[in-house]
Amino acid sequence: MTTLATSTGARYARILGTGSYRGSRVVTNEQMCTMIDSTPEWIEQRTGIKERHWATEDETPLSMSAAACRSAMDMAGVEPGRIGAIIVASVSHHRPSPALADYLARELGCPDPAAFDISAACAGFCYSVALAESLIRAGHAGDDGLVLIVGVEKLSEMINIADRGTAFIFGDGAGAAVIGPSRTPGISPTVWGSKPENVETIQIENWLAGASNDTGYPFITMDGRTVFKWALAEVTGHAARAIELAGIRPEELDIFLPHQANDRITDALVRHLHLPENVAVGRDIAEMGNASASSIPIALDRMIREGRATSGQTALIIGYGAGLTYAGQIVVIP
């Protein structure tokens, strides 16, 4: 019988560098409330959001992700020519084909990477961490075993300003990470999955429907209350399971960085996990809004650059959103 060769890669993987880019137009709650029937206090009390970053017309998913990726490669000390694979997590790329990852490869000067996009909404970055880690350990990430992952969103184009229940939430930006081989474990087993019965809870309309909107773009629709309840009832358990699978206790975590969807959900997760006070909790939503797939890497990059997350520390990251999808793992800070 013919025996095929199979690939094997590094024993472990870890994050080597991070980078981020925030849309440059800051929209305060006061400004938001000139567009929708709400109050700055209601928005802040219900979500923790004080302002959000929206992209300008010139800031595109490609330009924002390229900026975040350059910064991540710079921190990692990795040249574009060494990147073996690029994974983009986004719901904002407006072309079914080619993938945003292909445009990004050209923009960054990566000569021959495997390149593809994934659609896992707000869980997209953590899905990408799982994929990158698997590719590296399987030996599918090029000669140097380096994967560039980026979560990027420009959701301001897709909000329905007449829907006061969702219009104020979303923000625009990109967050990237270079993931590569490691001598020690740097990414724990991923807890991931989806809840098919709630597939319609958060949706983006199809493009034909979008064409008749004032903006020409499809709108995001969300049953926020259902998402909120699911996050409290089930995502809490998934987060606890991620800690358990990593073989550590909650008090051994240094950082907790959930998807920045709502500070009240973050508070509930912190309570459920019994995290001690010294665990630094990511609360980037106040200035950024909910930037979907980019929310975790943008917040992570900020914590690293501000010295609130330091090399060797452990962070639980967990994303959850449309699908309903979720994914979480513990990562070691580069």
Residues that bind ligand UT7 (CB under 6 A): 36, 38, 42, 46-47, 122, 164-165, 168, 202, 224-225, 227-228, 231, 261-262, 290, 292, 321
By C-beta, is 33 or 280 nearer to ligand UT7? Answer: 33
User: How many whole angstroms separate alpha carbon 222 and alpha carbon 119?
Assistant: 17
Q: Which residues are catalytic?
A: 122, 259, 290
By C-beta, is 106 or 225 nearer to ligand UT7? Answer: 225
By C-beta, is 114 or 232 nearer to ligand UT7? Answer: 232
**Amino acid (1-letter code) at residue 298:** I
Q: Nearest approach, Cβ of 225 to ligand UT7 (angstroms)?
A: 4
By C-beta, is 12 or 230 nearer to ligand UT7? Answer: 230
Query: Apex CA 244: angle with CA 330 and CA 191, to 5°?
Result: 60
User: How many whole angstroms separate alpha carbon 239 and alpha carbon 237?
Assistant: 5
Close Cβ partners of 136 (under 8 Å, ≥ 6 residues apart): 9, 10, 13, 145, 146, 147, 179, 180, 181
User: How many whole angstroms separate alpha carbon 10 and alpha carbon 186?
Assistant: 12
By C-beta, is 168 or 217 nearer to ligand UT7? Answer: 168
**226: closest CA among 198, 264, 267, 265?**
198
Q: Nearest approach, Cβ of 217 to ligand UT7 (angstroms)?
A: 18
Q: Nearest approach, Cβ of 117 to ligand UT7 (angstroms)?
A: 18
Q: Is residue 319 a contact partner of residue 125, using CB atoms and an 8 Å limit?
A: yes
Hey, which residues does 310 pair with through a beta bridge? none
Q: Nearest approach, Cβ of 303 to ligand UT7 (angstroms)?
A: 20
Task: Report phi then psi at 132, rounded to 5.
Answer: -60, -45
Q: Nearest approach, Cβ of 118 to ligand UT7 (angstroms)?
A: 16
